Amino acid sequence: MLLVAVLLSSPNTQAGKKKQADKPKQPVEEMNVYRLEFDNDTFVGSDDGFSAGWSFQRHSRTYDTWDDGKRNRLSRWIAKAVPGLGDDGEGGRRVRLSMGLSQIIQTPEAIENPDFQPADISWAGALGFHWTWQSVSQKRLNAFQIYLGCGGECSGAEQVQTFIHDDLGGGTPPEGWDNQLDTQGHINLNYTARRKLAASKNVGVRGWSADFAVGGQFAAGTLFTLAELQPELRFGFRLPEGFTHLPDAAGRGVVMEPTPQAAPGGWAFYFSLVPRVTYFVDIWFFEPGDTVNGNRHPGVDYDDAAFQTLLGIHIARKRFALRLTYYYFPSEVSEPAVPQAGNPTEATQAWANISLEYRW
């Protein structure tokens, strides 16, 4: 016992304890953000159209300039070559690089039907990697994303949905995946810009506050081609600086972390409201295409212009954040190109998203 006491009180041990105590804790703003997202229309009492999806993302800590941190030449070139991604020099906008893996699952209404269903939306899945470069401050955000992936059997959509519905008992066993769209590689480029028009003085500090911004995005590629405009309103307690989190699937939207800092102080609780108008040029999931069993799905007719509203609830405290987002469409946006006589089928496009974040 005497020996143990001597060792515990030795200079080296005491020095080690002092060194550990003196070591400054890493600020939350200097931590990476890890996010896990789940999309599912079962949350809103449906199981067709955009049926489910998930995404795992890593968002780097923010840096003062693109030359800070360990970045390869290609990454620095993209950040400096794409308009709007400038860091404004030392003390300007904060910059961040994000990356992740995402999956989208689409099914017709009668998932228990193993037969070919040309009068409904097609069976389809997509899996892809994505990289996002962004520059953000309290007043301005610009981001650019590259998506690379594949649709069809390589997406693993059949295996994921079968595991959840059949093995875990999460729903009706899907029987029609032999009719899914055939394999195709995908590349998509997305760009978004947002501007803050009004904000309470205490945004990013403490107390109750609100802000209002406008933004838009463009997407071009084999997965989605679209143009979009939106206002966004946030209000609540301890709003962080920056902009609203929009959990769009990669390719459909830009996957990023739209705040330059974590929520200020203790618990943050706020709401977001984002009505938006989207003009769709091309949606791979809705277009005609060959299926894996040799049929030809005629695709579905969809509105070129669609109105949608995103309602969000955000809860955060330092390292942790929970976000719930409901995607609301006031009307159906698609219908079969070959409707069934007397029994037309329309695809429901409402769903909900759950996002879990942790800074580490």
List pLDDT tens digits, range 119-132.
888 999 999 999 99
List pLDDT tens digits, range 203-221.
988 899 999 999 999 999 9
Tokens representing 206 are 């403490």
Mean pLDDT value across residues 35-40: 93
What integer best gives the mean pLDDT of the chain? 86
Sequence-separated contacts (24+) of 306-310 with Cβ below 8 Å: 306/277, 306/278, 306/280, 306/333, 307/275, 307/276, 307/277, 307/278, 308/275, 308/276, 308/278, 309/273, 309/274, 309/275, 309/276, 310/246, 310/272, 310/273, 310/274, 310/275, 310/276
Whether residue 226 is predicted with pLDDT greater than 60 in this model: the reply is yes
Q: Which of 238-242, 260-264, 322-326 has the lowest mean pLDDT?
A: 260-264
**Residue-range domain boundaries for the chain:** 30-359
List pLDDT tens digits, range 281-312.
999 999 999 999 999 999 988 888 999 999 99
pLDDT at 109 (0 to 100): 85
pLDDT band (50, 70, 90) for residue 349? low
pTM for the full predicted model: 0.87
CATH code given to domain 30-359 = 2.40.128.140
d(CA 274, CA 192): 15
pLDDT at 350 (0 to 100): 77
Looking at per-residue confidence, does 9 or 164 come out higher?
A: 164
Q: Which of 164-173, 193-202, 325-334 has the lowest mean pLDDT?
A: 325-334
List pLDDT tens digits, range 108-161.
988 999 999 998 889 999 999 999 999 999 999 999 999 999 999 999 999 999
CB neighbours of 193 closer than 8 A, spacing ≥ 6?
84, 141, 142, 143, 215, 216, 217
